Amino acid sequence: MNIQCPCGSGRRCAVCCGAIHSGVREARTAEALMRSRYSAYVLRLEAYLLASWHPDTRPLILALQDDKTQWLGLTIRGVKAGGPGDESGTVSFTARYRVGRERHQLAETSRFVRQGGRWVYLDGSVSQGGEASSHNASTPAPPR
């Protein structure tokens, strides 16, 4: 892909999240996996999202082909652990999106763990409009 990566890195997608999506390389950190998952939501890569989701919390389907969400941008607010030598970590972020003419933002703190040596998304705590809740469903498709 010769487009700018949706994760906001400023790099071309092919050498950023696209390389993770295609299996050329693994995400080295929880933040890298989170960014790749956000990009996968933007690009509607359902198979990648499901494959990078912990099997204990993974939904059966996401139905992204019917999703009307247009993702507008990602801001990483904080990272705890989740480095190359860690077994778990959290990434706090805000994702801006639009559905129809309405603009929204989703704030989440996502938990990631290593499984079989690679990072996977476990679950997250979502805050929309000031309300926080535990979340691992898929509507709207949060970029976890």
Answer yes or no: is 2 within a domain: no
CA nearest to 109, candidates 28, 30, 53: 30
**8 within a domain of the structure (yes/no):** no
Question: Where residue 103 sits, what CATH number does that domain have?
Answer: 3.10.450.50
Q: Is residue 59 part of a domain?
A: yes
Task: List all residues 6 or more positions away from 56 whose beta carbon is below 8 Å from its beta carbon.
Answer: 122
Could you identify the residue written with the tokens 């999506």?
Answer: 21
Residues 124-134: pLDDT tens digits?
Answer: 999 865 444 45
Question: What pTM was computed for the model?
Answer: 0.89
Give residue 121's pLDDT: 98
Which one, of 7, 78, 74, 83, lies nearest residue 40 by Cα? 7
Report if residue 4 sits inside a domain: no
pLDDT in tens, 19-62: 999 999 999 999 999 999 999 999 999 999 999 999 999 999 99
Alpha-carbon distance 58 to 81, whole Å?
A: 22
DSSP state of 115: E
* Count of the separate structural domains present in the chain: 1
Pair 74, 37: CB distance under 8 Å: no
**Burial (0-12, 13-18, 19+ Cβ within 10 Å), 71:** buried
Is residue 61 domain-resident?
Answer: yes
Higher pLDDT, 144 or 91: 91
Any domain includes 24 = yes
Portion of the chain with pLDDT greater than 70, in percent: 88
Whether residue 51 lies inside any domain: the answer is yes
